[in-house]
Structure 1
Amino acid sequence: MDLKQFSTEDLEKKYKTTAALTYLLAGMLIVLLALGTYLSIKNGFNAIVVVPIALSAVVTTNFKTIKLMKAELAERKAGPENQAKF
């Protein structure tokens, strides 16, 4: 994803939305993993334990995207006068 094509306002909006949804997804996956583990201990293996493990790749990818968005926004806010000149 080329972040330079977005306007600063659009990028800030996309950053806030992506961050909120990613943290929500991560929290839900932690709860699902805990409940799945509890049910597996209580009733034997339950396939629901595999779901949060499989979906953790999505969370990892989103955290990487959030980091890139944050860096791009910081670079834009620094402005051309604060950037290194080559």
Structure 2
Amino acid sequence: MKKQPELSELSIEELEKRAKMTKLSSTMLIVAILFQFLTGVYLTFKNGFNVFIILPMAFLPLIIVNFTNLKKIKEEIAKRKS
């Protein structure tokens, strides 16, 4: 696996592009998790408890990691622009 460059090594344009992609992927992930959760709730009411109600919770750490990375990228952009 190719190692990602440090944020300090990237240009402002690359940082802004990375921030945009991270925000987009986070939004898509939130929508997918919400869909999984709603489907799990529906299936739980229809068929009783099942694993589909717990599955979306396993993906919540990905959202936390994405927003943490997005915050670091925005801090780096702000540091360079000031």
Per the normalisation by structure 2, the TM-score is 0.85
Distance 1:55 1:3 in 2: 25
State the aligned residue count. 78
Counterpart selection for 2:38 from 34, 44, 63: 34
Higher Rg of the two aligned structures: 1
Deviations 1:2-50 (A, max 9, x none): 3111111111111100111111101210121111112112211121222
User: Identity of paired residues, percent?
Assistant: 35
Residue of structure 1 in register with 2:78 after alignment: 74
What are structure 1's unaligned runs of at least 5 residues? 79-86
Runs of 4+ off more than 4 Å: none
Distance 1:67 1:15 in 2: 9
TM alignment of 1:38-57, pairs within 5 A: 38-57=42-61
1:61 equivalent to 2:65? Answer yes
Q: Which has the higher helix share?
A: 1
